[in-house]
Amino acid sequence: MRVCVIGTGYVGLVTGTCLAHIGHHVICVDNNEEKVKLMKSGQSPIFEPGLSELMTSASASGNLEFTSDLAAGVAHGEILFIAVGTPPLPTGESDTRYVEAVARGIGAHLDGDYKVLVNKSTVPIGSGDWVRRIVLDGLAERQKAQSSEGTTGEEVVAKTGVQFDVVSNPEFLREGCAVHDTFNPDRIVLGSNSQRAMDMMIQLYKPIVDRKFAENTSLPPVPVVMTDISSAEMIKYAANAFLATKISFINEVANICDRVGADVTQVAKGIGLDSRIGSKFLQAGIGWGGSCFPKDVSALVHTADDYGYEAHLMKAAVEVNERQRLIAIEKLQQVLKILKGKTVGLLGLTFKPDTDDLRDAPSLNLIENLNRLGAKVKAYDPIVSQTGMRHGLSGVLVETDPERLADGCDALVLVTDWDEFRNLDYGKMAKLMNHPVMIDGRNFLDKKGLEAAGFQYVGIGR
């Protein structure tokens, strides 16, 4: 099928590339010329395992193209994905201006062919109808510019025969394993009131639903949840709010464990074996972050507020998380007492491993608060240390390797559970430090191994 993906970030580029890999002809559009140039030259602007290889092969097959020309993308696609960012506003609601700009642009370029417009961006509940209206506005503005007659979008639709439907198709991929998740989804959610649009979406995803590109091709087909647009939009928010709440729950349990002398890793194991609870998302630590959980939970709380409903549980999940992000500072103060004049080294900066994404990463809070308390902050991150200039970090010296990081530090804080941090030469690192203290912010390291290497080990809730 002919597909256009607008916005080539973590979601758009992965979606476009994977759809090209399974045989569709995809044009990816982005208004960032630099990014388009980079992608045309065969390079990925983001770090995502397996993505570059797929981009190379899909581009070589002629199935994947990049452009900044929205008109060309709209003309090409029978299915048009909107995958631009919806960052949070200071009030907590989503900033939908990028979605609006794209919808208006699509309206300005629609031709007589039937198109399906797919909201892949996480958008506030009710955005399906809103996108439709903006597209019609764009269409009416084009008509007005061409004929100087004032017409409404609906009149233009009647006159020109332009036909389109809007589908909500929320994305659940996880950064760091986004390609894997796209080929092995737990479910696909489609929201629309148009059977024609639904049929096209089913055809588009058929190879993935049939697990043709899955790790385990013998599994039953991927469940497809077909529902109305608002429910599809709500599914995305509810899923993220649930996961964020689950982490805040175990962090709260960890804080109680710390006080009563229990070990939260054992508690998590003990409760996670209950099939009603499940073991995932029960790792206590320094809190959740990234570009999705904080903004999606806040947006849902904000939507509830708009309807006069106070979402107590979700608000509490956010509050627990805000407090949790300071837990490493509390632990550093317990061990080092005064932080002014001390040097603290951070192992990891990204909000999770296997990504270069720093949006709303707990490391940023830590750096800010350590600086405020007069500590010098250094960091080593397997990806950011290679691409540091790109991230515009401030208040932190980004070192090129873990040993340079350890040199002269009064304590280390493990912030991101990168796999390579399991096997660093901690014996050597301990000798390079003023005080070999390790605050394990993810309960990720081997406590006994660290202690044997000479570290004072401090976990979360252990």
Could you give the residue numbers annotated as active site? 292
Residue nearest to ligand NAD (CB): 9
Does residue 300 interact with ligand NAD by CB under 6 A? Answer: no
SS3 annotation, 130-148: HHHHHHHHHHHHHHHHHHC
For residue 155, give the amino acid letter: E
Strand ranges for 74-113 from DSSP E: 79-82
The torsion defined by the Cα of 337, 343, 348 and 351, in degrees rounded to 10, comes to: 60
CA distance 275 to 300: 28
Does residue 384 interact with ligand NAD by CB under 6 A? Answer: no
Does residue 10 interact with ligand NAD by CB under 6 A? Answer: yes
Does residue 292 interact with ligand NAD by CB under 6 A? Answer: yes
Indicate the residue among 140 and 173 with the shorter CB distance to ligand NAD. 173
89 phi-psi bin (left φ>0, alpha ψ -120 to 50, beta other): beta
Burial class (CB in 10 A: 0-12, 13-18, 19+), 129: exposed
Does residue 255 interact with ligand NAD by CB under 6 A? Answer: no
Does residue 7 interact with ligand NAD by CB under 6 A? Answer: yes
Choose, by CB under 6 A, the member of 20, 26, 54, 85 that binds ligand NAD: 85
What is the smallest separation between the CB atom of 121 and ligand NAD, expressed in angstroms? 3
Does residue 289 interact with ligand NAD by CB under 6 A? Answer: no
Sheet holding 397-398, edge to edge: 397-398, 376-380, 343-347, 411-414, 437-440, 456-458
Choose, by CB under 6 A, the member of 1, 32, 100, 263 that binds ligand NAD: 32
Choose, by CB under 6 A, the member of 84, 136, 198, 208 that binds ligand NAD: 84
Q: Which residue has the tokens 């912030």?
A: 415
For residue 43, give the amino acid letter: Q
CA distance 280 to 355: 20
Choose, by CB under 6 A, the member of 20, 29, 282, 300 that binds ligand NAD: 29
Residues 6+ apart with CB under 8 A from 61: 20
Indicate the residue among 9 and 388 with the shorter CB distance to ligand NAD. 9
What is the smallest separation between the CB atom of 282 and ligand NAD, expressed in angstroms? 21
Burial class (CB in 10 A: 0-12, 13-18, 19+), 447: middle
Residues from 182 through 211 that contact ligand NAD (CB under 6 A) = none
Choose, by CB under 6 A, the member of 17, 44, 86, 248 that binds ligand NAD: 86
Does residue 380 interact with ligand NAD by CB under 6 A? Answer: no
* Count of residues near ligand NAD by CB under 6 A: 26
CA 434 vs. chain centroid, Å, equals: 37
For residue 2, give the amino acid letter: R
Does residue 93 interact with ligand NAD by CB under 6 A? Answer: no
What is the smallest separation between the CB atom of 47 and ligand NAD, expressed in angstroms? 12
Choose, by CB under 6 A, the member of 3, 4, 5, 9 that binds ligand NAD: 9
Mark 116-145 with x for binding to ligand NAD (rule: CB under 6 A) and - for no binding. -----xx-----------------------
Residue 127 tokens read as 């955005």
Closest CA to 353 of 285, 421, 277: 421
The sign of the CA dihedral 378, 363, 47, 443 is positive
What is the smallest separation between the CB atom of 70 and ligand NAD, expressed in angstroms? 6
The residues that touch ligand NAD, with contacts defined as CB under 6 A, are 6-12, 29-32, 35, 83-86, 98, 101-102, 121-122, 171, 173, 175, 291-292
